[in-house]
């Protein structure tokens, strides 16, 4: 045990009070089994589970695709503006309880429009909850539209077209879903268009895909952040580049464990990333599916890797410096971390 804390409980208490931002959260991945059941009933949607316990038992994955199959099925209960609001409000309450001061939320519109749900329904429901959290609790947010990379670039272009009337509510675009076989290069043109629209850019890369995909995200998509980025560590020159550029990595420890990106949290690369000078952050990805919100992720990886107080403070600081907040807002949050630590 690091000398910084008397016990694991002492470290957990430090984590709980640490001001933090969450930068990698798929709102559809925060759909808890109980809410899934309630929405299925409210909307008259059939789901292939008899109880919330049965849903949880189905959450055993051996890779990303295993998870995605269940994730896309689960989001079928989301039908109305109120559903998207309730989903988002439930996540924001959990985040606030974890000391999260700012969130940058992903959503997957193609997972909904393909089912006949209007883009507007999705954005309006999510943003109504985001607005309430901001005015009632001072919890700030950014919203990031993700393109599903297993679909075509033409479909991503059509989704960006649908987003045009809502660009006052959307801060960036991202790239998610099945990584291997769908490299960033497939989306070079739509990302260029998003960049010209003034949107921030992120992409999942190096979760299951090779370091070359991380390089493509940097060189072809010109991303502002890399989501996951774990496999960057296989390429020393890439690590040096990411560190030199101060590129933020949104790392998701419990996700990596549940999707078998790592066999054991003791083998998780987070500490190696920090020691290599990488701007790593800790995030929950799809907390309902992976067994924990942001504090659970900090705690599990801190225990497994015996993270020090300096490590935890660096992770929290990175979460704000890597955010899309203004410099003044970043400075305010960094000062709050310093005051706390
Ligand atoms: N969609 C939701 N979670 C994801 C993840 N971890 N990787 C890729 N696509 C996702
Ligand atoms: Zn993700």
Contact in structure between 145 and 159 (CB atoms under 8 Å): yes
Task: Give the distance (Å) from ligand 1 centre to CA of residue 25.
Answer: 9
pLDDT tops 90 at residue 181: yes
Asked whether the predicted pLDDT for residue 87 surpasses 90, the reply is yes
E runs forming strands in 8-117 = 20-26, 100-107
Residue located nearest, by CA, to atom 1 of ligand 1: 177
Burial 24-37 (b: 16+ CB within 10 A, else e): bbbbbbbbbbebbb
Q: Report whether 201 contacts 218 (CB < 8 A).
A: no
The ranges assigned to domains in the chain are 8-34+80-340
pLDDT of residue 76: 96
- The H or E element that residue 215 is part of is helix 211-216
Instruction: Tell me the per-residue pLDDT of 220-252, one tens digit each, with 9 for 90 and over.
Output: 999 999 999 999 999 999 999 999 999 999 999
Which whole number is the average pLDDT over 178-188? Answer: 98
50 CA distance to ligand 2 middle (Å): 28
Question: How far, in Å, is the centroid of ligand 1 from the Cα of 110?
Answer: 14
Residue 2: band (very low, low, confident or very high) from pLDDT cuts 50, 70, 90? confident
Residue 243 CB burial class (10 angstroms; 0-12, 13-18, ≥19): middle
Predicted confidence (pLDDT) per residue in 20-35, tens digit = 999 999 999 999 999 9
Q: Which residue out of 26, 63, 179 has the highest number of ligand 1 atoms within 8 Å of its CB and is therefore the one to mutate?
A: 26
Tokens of residue 105, six digits: 């939320």
**Nearest bound ligand to CA 178?**
1
Mean pLDDT for all residues in the chain: 97
Which ligand 1 atom is at minimum distance from the Cα of 146? 1
**Does position 41 have pLDDT exceeding 90, yes or no?**
yes
Catalytic residues: 207
To the nearest whole percent, how much of the chain has pLDDT over 70?
A: 100
Closest CA to 229 of 212, 215, 249, 243: 249
Counting ligands in written order, the one closest to the CA of 70 is 1
- C-alpha pair distances (Å), 111 with each of 107, 176, 191, 262, 327: 9, 11, 19, 27, 34
Q: List pLDDT tens digits, range 113-160.
A: 999 999 999 999 999 999 999 999 999 999 999 999 999 999 999 999
Q: What is the pLDDT of residue 65?
A: 95
Say what the pLDDT of residue 37 is. 94
Cα–ligand 1 centroid distance for 336 (angstroms)? 31
167 backbone dihedrals φ, ψ, rounded to 5°: -65, -15
Ligand 2 (ion): which residues have CB within 5 A?
285
pLDDT at 320 over 90: yes
**What atom in ligand 1 is closest to the CA of residue 286?**
3
**Of 47-56, 186-195, 210-219, 279-288, where does mean pLDDT reach its minimum?**
47-56
Which fold does the domain 8-34+80-340 belong to in CATH? TIM Barrel (3.20.20)
Q: What percent of the chain has pLDDT over 90?
A: 98
| CA dist., res. 143 & res. 126, Å (int) | 9
């Amino acid at each position: 045990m690091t000398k910084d804390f008397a016990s694991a409980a002492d470290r957990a208490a430090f984590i709980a009070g640490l001001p933090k931002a969450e930068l990698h959260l798929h709102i559809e991945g925060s759909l808890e089994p109980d809410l899934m059941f309630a929405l299925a009933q409210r909307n008259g949607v059939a789901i292939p589970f008899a109880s919330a316990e049965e849903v949880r038992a189905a959450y055993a994955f051996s890779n990303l695709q295993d998870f995605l199959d269940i994730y896309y099925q689960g989001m079928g209960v989301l039908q109305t503006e109120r559903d998207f609001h309730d989903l988002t409000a439930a996540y924001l309450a959990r985040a606030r309880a974890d000391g999260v001061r700012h969130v940058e939320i992903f959503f997957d519109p193609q997972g909904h429009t393909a089912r006949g749900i209007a883009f507007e329904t999705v954005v309006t429901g999510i943003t109504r909850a985001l607005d309430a959290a901001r005015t009632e609790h001072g919890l700030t947010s950014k919203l990031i539209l993700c393109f599903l990379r297993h679909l075509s670039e033409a479909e991503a272009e059509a989704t960006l077209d649908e987003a045009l009337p809502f660009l006052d509510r959307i801060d960036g675009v991202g790239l998610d879903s099945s990584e291997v076989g769908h490299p960033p290069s497939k989306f070079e043109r739509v990302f260029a268009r998003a960049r010209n629209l003034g949107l921030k850019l992120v992409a999942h890369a190096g979760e299951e895909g090779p370091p070359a995909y991380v390089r493509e995200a940097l060189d072809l998509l010109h991303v502002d952040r890399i989501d996951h980025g774990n496999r960057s560590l296989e390429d020393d020159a890439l690590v040096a580049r990411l560190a030199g550029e101060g590129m933020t990595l949104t790392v998701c420890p419990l996700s990596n464990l549940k999707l078998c990106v790592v066999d054991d949290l003791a083998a998780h690369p987070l500490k190696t990333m920090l020691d290599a000078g990488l701007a790593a952050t800790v995030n929950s990805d799809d907390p309902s599916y992976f067994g924990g919100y942001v504090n659970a992720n900090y705690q599990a990886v801190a225990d497994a890797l015996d993270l020090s107080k300096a490590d935890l403070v660096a992770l929290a600081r990175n979460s704000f410096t890597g955010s899309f907040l203004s410099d003044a807002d970043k400075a305010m949050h960094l000062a709050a971390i310093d005051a706390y630590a």
